[in-house]
Structure 1
Amino acid sequence: MSFWPVLCIVIVGLEGIFGVCVNSLVLILLLRGKLRTKSVYRVAMVVSTIHLIGMSAMSGVTTLCHVFHDQNYSIIFFGLLPLLPQKVGDGFLIVFMFFVFAMWELTPAPCILQYLALCQPNVTDRMKLLIAYSTVDCLVIGTLQITELFFHYGHSLDVVIIEHFLSCIPQQYYTVFLAIPEYRQDFALITRQVFDLSPDEGVVAYGAKLFMTEKSDTTVIPFAVIGILPTYLIAYLIFIFCCVRIYRVLNAYDVQLKSQRTLQMQKQFFKTLLLQGLLPLIVLAVPIGIFFVGLVGGFNMDRLTLLLTFSLWTVPTVQGVVSLSFVFKMKSSSVEGTSSRMRLEQRSASELH
């Protein structure tokens, strides 16, 4: 096997293993451990952790990588996928799209929960969860339907440019990378050239053109602008709004919390959700910046695109470490609280005698 596929399999595979291990430990501690934290916060962390486990497991199994070459954006699978039927790869591609979109669509939920816990304490836990994850549901539904809405408004306004731009977008745009068979052969050929693959080495390649062609009208730019940008902006606007409100409440002198220990727990959870929301942006900032420079500059990134791949699959591990740190702190806080109560009970008993 050639050097580059082996490198991708090793690095992406290890990232997947680390992500699964770290987040599985977090999940076990959340489900079994006696943590001094609110139940709604625990639910939010369980949901996020399950998503990270799924994302890490997929990276370890599929070795999904990216290549940008000659105005073609390719998503490629090494590892086990080339040995399986094509439909299996199609399914994994759609699941991959779901996991990537969920990275930002799940971001507002923990913030909304803490905002409601601090600013609307009379709201029941069930209602808090309903409000938080209804927002996530709206983002998911918007992801699936937003192109149809854009097309409708473009038609009603009778703006020819908008109609022409939006008409190239399939309503089920999450399948934009399921290219026609002829283009799949092109993407596979590009992959073999970029990674110096021998003819007997298997690879599954998907992709989309940067611009429209006579044979295909599915392109990357409308997918990014209409498929990703609206829900991405909405999710992070909610995130920023809630974080600002939470910060003000936690630093107010008249904050109504049961104890100093509860205040510390709230602050620690706030730091955790803040890190989990911002770290993906920080980790992916450099490779995405390089990608856009290459996009605007018109040069082939080729193997340099692997920076985006390796950074993307690092995110679940990084977020898992943040969650693990929070869980350990809450666990130690719970143990300290139990020990303090036991000492007080023993002291009271000795005074009675």
Structure 2
Amino acid sequence: MRWVTFCRIFFFSESSLAAVVNLYVLIAVWRRRIDANAATYRIAITIVCLSAIVQSLLQCLTISIHQIHDNVYTFVQLGAIDWMRLREFCVEATQFLIFLMWEWIPAACILQYLALCRPHFSTARRLIIAYSYCIVIICVSVPFASTFINEKTWTPFVHESVRRVQGIEESEPVYAYGATTNVVPENNNRTIIRFVFIAILSYIWSYGAFVVTTILIYRALKTDGVRLTAKTLSMQRRFLKMQILQGFVPLLVCGFPVALFIANIVAGTSMDRLTVIMTASIFGVPIVQALVSLTFVHRMKKKSDSEHSSSTERRRSSRIA
């Protein structure tokens, strides 16, 4: 099997699975029998799932992979799209959606913190506060999504590099977009440095809020200052565990390939086809995050079903009496 064919099959399958799993979570979280106290958290889970579904469907369409060769960081599209402007839009959209994987993370933590420590806030106010923080981060990073869009004079060099590394024949079209660490006049002096800087900045900004709010939530759940029923307290603890898992999933899944990427920047070496390890990790994150959410949703549903059955039994007993 040709390398390009393998990549198409593998990444289409991976993204299809991610879309299906997230869709299932989305359906499960909006089914009726879920604790009423989880209404706000439904929205947080829904936004993450919708973002993952769009990202996965876009990946199914474009089948994008990464390539690092000769200090050129390339975004290669193996999908069936032929319209160039649409391809360029897909490059920007893919980068944007990848950033969203960690830029949405603080929202759920902030929502839970406000629910525990600012219970007098309305649901709308909590949502505005939580997602305003995320939107600020998103607005800062959005302009850099076009970093990989090439100038026409630079395109032939990028395409030749991709043909050589990926084994694409001369008769086949190549759709690739590259950037370098050094300034290249042919590419309008664009570099990947600012892109990496903004990615790291948004990462720190997101995870900074995540860590701080997680600590505050943990302390609140351990003290007597927050008055909750045993049922609500149990739900809050489960949701906190889910958030911690979801927050650290990108770190665990992408840690090794991202470390390789950073090492490559420092050393200036080539990863060539091995760069797809990073691609597989990035597009695998939505699957793991969805599975974590699904565990939380199923536990909530089982608890709600159990309580519903108990209340039904009590009503029956009272009627008999």
TM-score by length of 1: 0.87
Structure 1: how far apart are the matches of 2:85 and 2:184? 25
- Alignment partner of 1:180 is 2:156: no
Tell me the CA shift for residue 222 of structure 1. 2.1
What is the one-letter code of the residue matched to 1:90? Answer: E
Contact 1:109-1:136 at 8 Å conserved across structures: yes
SS in 1 for 2:68: strand
Tell me the CA shift for residue 283 of structure 1. 0.2
Structure 2: how far apart are the matches of 1:294 and 1:174? 21
Residue aligning to 1:129: 127
Among candidates 154, 158, 174, match of residue 203 of structure 1: 174
Aligned residues: 319
Structure 1: how far apart are the matches of 2:174 and 2:292? 35
Residues 100-158 of structure 1, C-alpha deviation per residue, up to 9 Å, x if partnerless?
121121111000000000011111111101111111121122224xxxxxxxxxxxxxx
Matches within 5 A, 1:146-161: none
Residues 9-45 of structure 1, C-alpha deviation per residue, up to 9 Å, x if partnerless?
1111111110111011111122233211421111111
What is the one-letter code of the residue matched to 1:128? Answer: R
Residue aligning to 1:218: 190
Residue aligning to 2:296: 326
Tell me the CA shift for residue 313 of structure 1. 0.8
Among candidates 86, 109, 112, match of residue 110 of structure 2: 112
- Alignment partner of 1:38 is 2:38: yes
**RMSD (Å), alpha carbons:** 1.4
Residue aligning to 1:298: 268
SS in 2 for 1:121: coil
Residue aligning to 1:310: 280
Tell me the CA shift for residue 294 of structure 1. 2.2
Structure 2: how far apart are the matches of 1:235 and 1:294? 25
- Alignment partner of 1:350 is 2:320: yes
Uncovered stretches (5+) of structure 2, i.e. residues with no partner: none
CA radius of gyration, larger in: 1
What is the one-letter code of the residue matched to 1:263? Answer: L
Structure 2: how far apart are the matches of 1:91 and 1:246? 39
> Residues 295 and 230 (structure 1 numbering): CA distance in 2 closer, same or farther, change over 3 Å?
closer
Among candidates 95, 98, 107, match of residue 97 of structure 1: 95
> Residues 292 and 90 (structure 1 numbering): CA distance in 2 closer, same or farther, change over 3 Å?
same
Residue aligning to 2:242: 272
Contact 2:183-2:191 at 8 Å conserved across structures: yes
> Residues 33 and 13 (structure 1 numbering): CA distance in 2 closer, same or farther, change over 3 Å?
farther
Contact 2:4-2:167 at 8 Å conserved across structures: no
Structure 2: how far apart are the matches of 1:94 and 1:222? 15
Residues 70-114 of structure 1, C-alpha deviation per residue, up to 9 Å, x if partnerless?
110000000212xx1111101101111210121121111000000
What is the one-letter code of the residue matched to 2:268? Answer: G
SS in 2 for 1:134: helix
- Alignment partner of 1:57 is 2:57: yes
Structure 2: how far apart are the matches of 1:312 and 1:284? 6
TM-score by length of 2: 0.95
